[in-house]
Chains A and B, each alone.
Chain A
Amino acid sequence: MFVYLLRRINLLFTTLIVISVMSFSLGHLFPGDPVINFSGKPSLTYSEYQDLSQTLALDKSYFEQYLAYLKRSFNGDFGVSFSSQKPILDEFLRVLPASIELSLYALLVTLVFGLPLGLLAGIKNNRLIDRIIFSVATILNSIPIFWVGLLFILIFTLNMNWLPMSGRLTLLYEVPSITGFLLVDIALSDLANKSYVYTDALRHLILPTATLAVLPATLVIGMMRSSVIHVMGMPYIKAAQTKGLTSWQLITRHVFRNALLPIIPQFGLLFNTLVTSTMITEVIFSWPGIGNWIIEAIYQRDFPAIQASLLIVASMMISINVLLEIAHMMVNPLMRKEFNATK
């Protein structure tokens, strides 16, 4: 157990180092002067330039530069943004909650729909209901996400006029940003007509969440379905069928658990998809989150921002993956077996 943890953490560290090296080298790879790229200050006088070069250790060897970069990153100093000239970390933290909020709801929707549907399809393998679920999932899986967004807008905003097309809130309302999570902020605010604001915020959430959830949900359905089919063929399920359990007991106690456990590590893939899709969804729905911010940074050729976002997002992804693996290892007795066997 301990050795396993060490191994995972070792993997986490080496990967993080690789990522930071990549991110560091971006400063040199981007067109333009590294000093400007690292600091984010485009117009400098000669003495300022020299000073900065010294503080960033850019006059030293690459290795020392890298160490300095690492140190700055740890202190949360990613330089300032080209376009706004504000510290990147502040900018990042300002847009992060919106993205997390959106992804969280999408993840919730994904699991709430994906797991039961996948389970149902797997149990009823080769029956009509399975065919329907599986075909629909396969079809939805192939729709490019940006087109999903456009279709939703076309149908629900333009044709039906039901739901708003962009943003988090109608401009009418002004919610002071405290945590950055809109639904929490509304609760914390002292607006008079909270319920209206809530309705408005939720209405704004529906389309982006749905758009974002489509692809991960199809993935979950697929994973869950094949896992359930595999489990249903196992001798212990056959044996359990003769043990006097009701179908419900059988499914909840034996099938669901055994099917879910092995796919937990694959949820990393889910997060991967989620991050990618968030970027596009945010652009379509003008959602003021990280994706929008990164794309904006690229349009503006805001190199410090791009560099920082690569480092932060990639580190988050890796951490999530490793955490998932460790969590999987904790909850799955079979993993412990394999681990014990190879110790």
Chain B
Amino acid sequence: MPQNDIYNEVEYPGPYQQAWGKFKQNHVSWVCFCIVMFFIFVAVIGPFISPYSPYHQDTGYVLLPPSWQSAGNVHFLLGTDDLGRDVFSRLIHGTSLTFGISLLVAFGALVIGVSLGALAGMSKGIRSSIFNHLLDAILSIPSLLLAVVIVAILGPGLNNTIWAVLLVLIPQFVHRTQIVIRDELKKEYITAARLDGASEFHILKNSIFPNIIESIILQYSLAVSAAMLDIAALGFLGLGAQHGSPEWGAMLSDSIDLIYRASWLAILPGITMFLCLLSVNTVGHGLRNALKHRSES
């Protein structure tokens, strides 16, 4: 059969596929992705399967060390705290609080921030300039300080923390979206689309958005990790989730007074949070590498 193409045709995978393939090639990222999935799973259904209520106080078993120590008890896998609450259950609930809420808050910030950023990125002139200065000002304030001030206005508590973190994250999304849109707008294919008579909205939806979606996902992974840190830090400082809440930061803060007697209370929530943060960050890293690699080749 005559071949109508003398060169062997190479099948190139699509851009998303390529990035995903590259991402999966990196075993560490892949493992961390699975861990993140696991944490999401725990955050969603954990509260229904935890052995005890996080607030249930078993006065018979106070300050029980984790079960692998000789003084431990298998019924309380990771031991209990000073009020006889099961640490394992508290950690599971903490996953929902710290990690689950971070996912949601970051997503909320993404939706609002990207919309604002798209508006700002597509517009020019004095209004956008004022907006940019405002943005610059907000971004120059350390996020935790801003969150602390917002909590100071609203008053301490987990609910207010969520609002504070949301408000802190939005400008970062706006900023990122604006930058990538600006970069994209400079490219020739946009000009070509313009010359073809495409409307601004059309350009945004069909030309720009598919090209920036990955940067936004990347920013999302950063935002989740920042949200976790801020929520936990506020909890730790006693400004977020209140004393006694199973939120990880609050748990750590509660552990300080007992650190002489019950080091596991300080270690276990820390390890959990560390693992979660590490996975999220590594996934973010892997994602960035995969994208960078693709744009290079």
Does B bind A? Answer: yes
B136 surroundings in chain A (CB, below 8 A) = 11, 14-15, 18
Closest A residue to B281 using CB positions: A142
Q: Is the CB of B145 within 8 A of A298?
A: no
Closest B residue to A299 using CB positions: B238
B145 surroundings in chain A (CB, below 8 A) = 275-276, 279, 294, 310, 313-314
* Contact for A303 among B138, B152, B156, B233, CB less than 8 A: B152
Q: Is the CB of B140 within 8 A of A298?
A: no
A-facing mask of B141-165, CB < 8 A → 1, else 0? 1111100110111011000000000
* Contact for A18 among B134, B142, B256, CB less than 8 A: B134
Q: Is the CB of A146 within 8 A of B249?
A: yes
B-facing mask of A294-328, CB < 8 A → 1, else 0? 11001101010010001001100110010000000
Q: Is the CB of A144 within 8 A of B233?
A: yes
Q: Is the CB of A298 within 8 A of B137?
A: no
Q: Please report the C-alpha to C-alpha distance between residue A90 and residue B143 in the assembled complex, in whole angstroms.
A: 26
B229 surroundings in chain A (CB, below 8 A) = 144
Q: Is the CB of B237 within 8 A of A18?
A: no
7 more A-B contacts (CB under 8 A) besides A31-B155, A150-B266, A298-B151? A15-B136, A18-B133, A145-B233, A153-B259, A283-B236, A313-B141, A313-B142
B236 surroundings in chain A (CB, below 8 A) = 146, 280, 283
Q: Is the CB of B238 within 8 A of A146?
A: no
Closest B residue to A21 using CB positions: B137
B270 interfacial contact with A, CB 8 Å? yes
Once A276-B143, A276-B144, A298-B151 are accepted as A-B contacts, the answer to whether A150 and B278 lie under 8 Å apart by CB is no
* Contact for B252 among A15, A147, A314, CB less than 8 A: A147
Q: Is the CB of B267 within 8 A of A318?
A: no
* Contact for A298 among B138, B142, B152, B263, CB less than 8 A: B152
The contact sample of 10 A-B pairs, CB cut-off 8 A, is A18-B136, A18-B138, A138-B282, A142-B281, A143-B270, A158-B260, A276-B144, A280-B144, A301-B152, A317-B142
Q: Please report the C-alpha to C-alpha distance between residue A322 and residue B125 in the assembled complex, in whole angstroms.
A: 24
Q: Is the CB of B149 within 8 A of A306?
A: yes
Closest B residue to A317 using CB positions: B140
Once A14-B133, A150-B252, A158-B260 are accepted as A-B contacts, the answer to whether A142 and B277 lie under 8 Å apart by CB is yes
**What total of chain B residues lie within 8 Å of the partner, measured CB to CB?**
44
Closest B residue to A302 using CB positions: B152
Q: Is the CB of B270 within 8 A of A280?
A: no
* Contact for B256 among A150, A303, A313, CB less than 8 A: A150
* Contact for A144 among B138, B140, B238, B270, CB less than 8 A: B270
Closest A residue to B134 using CB positions: A18
Q: Please report the C-alpha to C-alpha distance between residue A30 and residue B150 in the assembled complex, in whole angstroms.
A: 10
Least Cβ–Cβ distance between B16 and chain A, in angstroms: 24
Q: Is the CB of A314 within 8 A of B237?
A: no
Q: Is the CB of B274 within 8 A of A154?
A: no
Q: Is the CB of B137 within 8 A of A22?
A: yes
* Contact for B149 among A26, A151, A284, CB less than 8 A: A26
Q: Is the CB of A146 within 8 A of B266?
A: no
B239 interfacial contact with A, CB 8 Å? yes
Q: Is the CB of A298 within 8 A of B285?
A: no
Once A141-B281, A144-B277 are accepted as A-B contacts, the answer to whether A314 and B141 lie under 8 Å apart by CB is yes
B42 interfacial contact with A, CB 8 Å? no
Q: Please report the C-alpha to C-alpha distance between residue A160 and residue B148 in the assembled complex, in whole angstroms.
A: 35
Q: Is the CB of A154 within 8 A of B263?
A: yes
Most buried by A among B145, B225, B229, B255: B145
Least Cβ–Cβ distance between A321 and chain B, in angstroms: 6
